[in-house]
Structure 1
Amino acid sequence: MDASPPIIRKLPPMPQVRLKNGLVISRLINGMWQVSGAHGDIDPNKAVNAMHKYCEAGYTTFDMADIYGPAEIIFGNFIKNRHSFHPKNSVQAFTKMVPSAGPMTRNVVESAITKSMLRMQVKQLDGLQFHWWDYKDKRYLDALQHLSDLQRIGKIRELSLTNFDTARLEEITSKGIEISTNQVQYSIIDQRPSQRMSKFCRMNGIKLLTYGTLCGGLLTDDYLGQPEPRGRKDLYTASLWKYKQMIDAWGGWKLFQELLSTLRDIADQHNVTIANVATRWVLDDPVVGGVIIGCRFGVLGANHAVENLQSVDYDWCLTEQNRSMIGKITSRSNDLLKSIGDCGDEYR
């Protein structure tokens, strides 16, 4: 007897969340690290066309950085004619300020965000996420104070952080600097945000924007039952290389395969994919505002927009049994908080 065909759901509308200063963003966010060059060549024109298609499907929020190669410029080319494609869809854009060490004067900080605004062709930054490499250099507090002042005069709507740990998050907010979001790595593999940071964020109205939720594509059906990838031939993008190292630290490929198999069993119950289950697991944390999905805009075969929408289809949900099944696997893994440190410590 032939197997029953999979149920084809009507795709859900993209759910949204409101941040501290009123900006409404989509819960699945287009990540633009993949256009930086570290994931292969990107055709800028094809990328812009793909961005229009994503926006039309409800993916209206974009995440980029001043250090992501041409990402801000590509976004600027997209934004200047978006109304002719989808006039009813508002677009939100987060960028990052990632300065090198040095004095953080008002002029230095304002010049940096002015450059981003010009490249992005916007008059106000919807969200500015600040990153700092060395906690011993306290000039990050100077920069954030200037950014807070620029927020008050309307140049920034939501002031945010990227890869700051809980201790620094507490320090910054104690200075009277209001933080809307912190962008951190968060997945079934890397659960560090839930161990220390989530409680503080809940108490202070801060949302987490998460990346690495699919481990660069490793936490998907594509790698179930596959031999361990090794070397640059198998790990051919910066994301694959990075997250394979994280899986090694977490517990290794054998345990990872057990996790994928369990996630496949759960996905079969709900007629979804492993990626959908992994994404929903993170989105179900109330402190998570949105999950950043890496987008290789304009690359043939790299569009997962339709599939990813199933992650936010609330006709299905993870049950307590599902969570218990996942927990039985992850309980046997290494504690990344102990081996790596708090969120973002892997960059310092």
Structure 2
Amino acid sequence: MTDMKTPEARMPARTRLGQLDIARTLVGLWQVADIEKDGTEIDPERGADHLAAYATSGFDTFDMADHYGSAEIIAGRLLARHAGADRRPLAFTKWCPPPGPMTAQIVRAGVQDRLDRLGVDRVDLLQFHWWSFQHPGWLDALHEMAELRETGLIGELGVTNFDADHLRVALRDGVPLVSNQVSFSLVDRRAAGPLSDLSCETGVKLFAYGTLCGGFLSEKWLGAEYPAQIGDWSKMKYRRFIDTIGGWEAFQALLRAASTIAAKHGVSVSNVATRWVLEQDAVAATIIGARLGESDHMADNLRLFSFALDAEDHAALGAAFAATDPVPGDCGDEYRKPPFLTASGDLSHHLDSIPLAHEAEPAARPGAERVLTGSEWEDIAGYARAQRVGARVFVSGTTATAGLSHKVAPEDAGAQTTYVLDKILAALSALGAGPEDVVRTRIYITDEADVAAISRAHGRVFGAVKPANTLVVVAGLIGGYKVEIEAEAVLSDAAQQA
């Protein structure tokens, strides 16, 4: 990556992302939705004028999504002004469909909508978000998007809010991803763990959002009282992160460390917070929020490239980190499981409204229910993916098979385990059970060398539950799979009543 560390630096540094030459500070347009929340849209041409000012200053790479109000339309007006030019600003957007079957037609329509709103023939970078990995449509969608990349409708392909395990599944299954957009800051350092390790292993780069925690990582909040009343969505979200790492006093200690470093270099606290993220090897770029027509902070953000953190700075931040609690889980977990660290808090109602991957049906035994997944072998061999009898749920031996016969991540046992456990959880969900109800798992593997990778994937799902478990090495598995898993669950009284 290129970078500028001299006091004379006056333009954002740049780096390569696949075939794209991008600024290391992306301009995020999520606040367009907040500005427009009263129903009044920003005039597209005036909005494009504001984006043009960013581009002139070197901040020419814009990040948006299908649900960021009229952000795509505004960006499209800016791109139209550069039609036919050798070089133009870049527009990265996201497609965030509701879980469900991801056919070629559905994916093509989603991509076409992005093309139409941007007014382009190709999306520079299309990023994909998925709410629940229990629904297998996410992998189908990524493969369909990869096909559209081959036809030229998509320049590069990325994801957003993927944890390390599911990013690995996609990569090991051959999806040509170049980026993953996740929360990453002095407060939320989850991305510095398994996700950064995977980045170094595969070359997939991270886009860091939430770098300033909605503005909390600034001089304004140093020594300030705890903000009990907040109306801003972004600050509501990141206050939850601050509460999680140990509360306001722990956060103030972190702010004081950043303030001391800022004074040493003659920069702002926000510069220090962003610079720390930029210096992580896995990070391609940070994302700076833009409130079009209200504030831009371009001059301050240009100072990011006038200095570098030294060993003393990192030691001071490290001491502040040690006094905080880590944000639990991996990247993206805040949208999928407790604690829900989002602006609205608990997302259980939203997740409960997501269609199940499968529906239960009556079984042959009176009062029992079963789940069928459509595999031809269920009829040939006469079995169900899972069956519930009273409070007990039994899940058949399950392999990493997508659709009728696609073997997922054929060379990666850990990735296969992740996919298998998602299938098991999907079957349990259809029968009213969850991971907390699992009392036993049995794992069959073909290579002892895969034990660690398989165990880590199992531990990510069942680390807190700790069911009884048996793992054995067998001579081989039908189909050449590396792992097969079966499970048993016992529903609690509350779950049975539900």
Provide TM-score, normalisation by structure 1.
Answer: 0.90
Q: Does 1:327 align with 2:326?
A: no
Query: Unaligned regions of 5+ residues in structure 2, if any?
Result: 1-6, 337-498
Task: Please tell me whether the aligned partners of residues 56 and 89 of structure 1 are also in contact (alpha carbons under 8 angstroms).
Answer: no
- Where does 1:88-237 land on structure 2 (aligned, <5 Å)? 90-231=88-229, 235-237=230-232
The whole-number CA distance in structure 2 between the counterparts of 1:40 and 1:326 is 37
| Separation in 1, partners of 2:122, 2:324 | 44
Work out the CA distance in 1 between the residues paired with 2:159 and 2:285. 14
Unaligned runs of 5+ residues in structure 1 are: 1-8
Match of 2:250 in 1: 255
Residue of structure 1 equivalent to 2:48: 48
2:42–2:70: 8 Å Cα contact kept in structure 1? no
Equivalent pair of 2:65/2:72 in contact (CA under 8 Å): yes
CA offset at residue 37 of structure 1?
2.5
Does 2:34 correspond to 1:37?
yes
Q: Indicate the SS of the match to 2:34.
A: coil
Contact 1:40–1:237 (8 Å) recurs in 2: no
Partner Cα separation in structure 2 for residue 183 and residue 200 of structure 1: 14
The reply to whether residue 282 of structure 1 matches residue 277 of structure 2 is yes
State whether residues 36 and 68 of structure 1, in contact with CA within 8 Å, keep that contact through their aligned partners in structure 2: yes
CA distance in 2, matches of 1:343, 1:147: 23
Q: What's the Cα RMSD here? A: 1.8
- Does 1:15 pair with 2:13? yes
Structure 2 Cα separation of the partners of residues 13 and 325 of structure 1: 28
Correspondence for 1:307:
300
Which amino acid counterpart does residue 269 of structure 1 have in structure 2? Answer: K
Secondary structure, counterpart of 2:134 in structure 1: coil
Matched, 1:68 2:68: yes
The worse-fitting range, judged by mean Cα deviation, of 161-170 and 72-81 is 72-81
SS at match of 1:62: strand
Partner of 1:243: 238
Query: After superposition, what is the alpha-carbon deviation per residue over 1:128-154, rounded to whole angstroms, capped at 9, x for unaligned?
Result: 100000010011011001000001111
Q: Equivalents in 1 of 2:276, 2:37: separation in Å?
A: 30
- Going from structure 1 to structure 2, the CA distance change for 1:258 and 1:39 (only over 3 Å counts) comes to farther
Within 1, Cα distance between the matches of 2:135 and 2:35?
A: 28
Task: Give 1:272's aligned amino acid.
Answer: V
Change (3 A) 1:149 1:317: same
Question: Alpha-carbon deviations, 1:320-340, whole Å to 9, x = none?
Answer: 11111111111111121xx3x
Q: Distance in 1 between matches of 2:256 and 2:325?
A: 19
Q: Distance in 1 between matches of 2:246 and 2:73?
A: 39
Structure 2 counterpart of 1:3: none
Paired with 1:283 and 1:89, the residues of 2 have a C-alpha distance of: 25
The list of structure 1 runs, each at least 4 consecutive aligned residues, that deviate by more than 4 angstroms after superposition, is: 38-42
Contact map agreement 1:125 1:157 (CA 8 A) in 2: yes
Larger radius of gyration: 2
For the 8 Å contact 1:98–1:130, the answer to whether it is kept is yes
For this pair of structures, how many residues does the alignment match?
328
Aligned residues with identical type, % of pairs: 38
Aligned amino acid, residue 37 of structure 1: D
Letter in 2 for 1:50: H
What's the CA shift for 1:81? 1.8
Tell me by how many angstroms 1:255 deviates: 1.3
- Equivalent residue for 1:342? 330
How far apart, in 2, do the equivalents of 1:90 and 1:60 lie?
8
Contact residue 263 and residue 326 of structure 1 kept, 8 A: yes
